Amino acid sequence: MQKNGNAIIHKYTLNGYHIVLDTNSGAVHLFGEAPFAMLDYLDGTVPEEPPEAMRTGLKGRFSEATLREA
């Protein structure tokens, strides 16, 4: 994920753990499967509701309720 050409986060899976590194603060986070997948659809801001592209792209993997909760 990038903003103004600067990397904001790095995300990867290692040994079954979904790891997100915030390069600005140095914080390391463990994510569940749904929130981890949702990161691919965000542009640096977190919307109140899942965007249509996110709901469509993740429809087969997660329920609408799971996406709203995450």
pLDDT reported for residue 42: 87
Indicate the pairing of strand 28-31 with strand 17-22: antiparallel
The pTM is what?
0.81
Backbone Cα Rg of the chain? 12
Residue span of the structural domain in which 41 resides = 2-69
**Model confidence at 67: pLDDT above 80:** yes
Coil vs helix vs strand at 32: coil
62 close to 34: Cβ distance less than 8 angstroms: yes
Q: For residue 70, is pLDDT > 80?
A: yes
Place of tokens 């749904």: 34
**Single-letter amino acid code for the residue at 65:** A
User: Which pLDDT score is estimated for 5?
Assistant: 55
Number of domains in the chain: 1
Tens digit of each residue's pLDDT (9 = 90 or more) over 18-51: 999 999 899 999 999 999 999 999 887 788 888 9
